[in-house]
A and B are shown apart, each in its own frame.
Chain A
């Protein structure tokens, strides 16, 4: 088993994993500082007979240092994080050429609606497939998320994609897969008794495979 985030398979994984590593290093330094400090103090300043503690109420200089360093670090981290956040989640971040798929969560399955031959959702040739999301590698995909009953959450670990599907809302989550293959979609929000089995699959195809799959669907082929 792995000791890291799942294998990466989308364009988001690069910056997210890098940021994760940066935070791990920053917090790791702070953690070692505190834990080693505590252990050293416990050993070094253990009570000994005849010794008295050093009487002090503090040090303004030390306080300024350990206020300023976290403050500056956090602001910097916030700025860097926001730079990527806006690129991933902002409503203007969805690429114009993204392939659009409707995904509706309902107890306890995912329904994927494809635009059919006209390339437009909401028309007569749309067709719906249960628990299967078929997409093309290296092409942006915009998932139009809705929910029929309660809140669900669309989660593909390898793509570093997570977005709640909320009844009454129409939320777009986009991503771009970078590796062909088959991945799992999980539900990340408690949605009732069958929450645990609300599992679906993503198939990332080459453009040729995807066209073939589409043609098969249009011909009324098996799922």
Chain B
């Protein structure tokens, strides 16, 4: 595969205390299917315990798993997006272990032959393009949840989550710093959300990472790794890796060795602690699940899925630069999410001024959305209305300040959505009559001799004061640029 052939050498991150850090991530992305991976039960988050667990999820005698095609299609979408090979045949295996939140006594997961093989995720780190290779991505079911806190003397089991579809995305050990691991995780998060295969909600556990961390002297073979489990925020990911790196280096510098182990990160103490060592690693007795035939994916299925895929953010940003003349930064900002891109495209079409549309989305719109805690899909001003407003800015009918105050009115929503009528009724139409403006300029010069003298003495601030006077005298209707031009001309500085 050519993507693997192009594998680049890992970025040389500065060593920490003389040690090189090696990180690989295993990320569980919950796939956004309405029903579970092997049953018809719903996957909605937050339902009352055990109300979204059917006979199959409860592993009642006689029940059998049936593959959810939607989960497979989401895996295919992911594989295509990262340039991976989609396996024509992949195999579901049983991972056997006993735990009360694992109803069947085994988890169905892909083991030897995963559905997505290879691929890479690209992102920017300190202004450099980075690429992390993927080993694989495989489909599996989530377990239920054990609730130890709410019950005295016993534990509760909630099986709502049991059977929720997961895509486990495994990277190669290509990352060399916690910052790089976080950027990789962010890029992966942006990607799965963009693709619409995962809602990306990290608080609800829809996207969580396990980090495999080791350190070595530069040039030495890989050190022994420890795996930090279940990190559900980028901040914890960074903190956990940093703390683990220090712990490992301390130990090695004390002449001790690292034992392969699974560890948990405690956000309160900021430290990692061992959960189980390799010695008590369980024998999962993997074997192919005889209830599920191998997952066959024919080329025409892949083609059908490809046809439904959204334009990728990189391609879209390039298009915005090429067709709309946006600067690279703006184009990147317009493609941070599919909703943002959709909104930008609609706004640009409505106002005909791409750069202004981008400015508004990055500026006033973003500010108000942030303050209100809303995402772009829930902006109270319809895009067509905002487009009409920006068109009037572009026309010079209304000043930017005037438009901003109108935007406030439109946001509040109680003055209607007719932009032109509002410009009229609020008296925000800019003065485009040169002779009337000239009269105001003349009278301002006549009545502000002090400022005129100061300007002539070289004080630029005095000029701004004069412009302000013109704007005031015009009741804000003057076009400030035009007022400045006329003032300069009258003062002989034009």
**Real complex partners, A and B?**
no
Q: Which residues of A line the B interface, CB within 8 A? A: none
Q: Which residues of B line the A interface, CB within 8 A? A: none
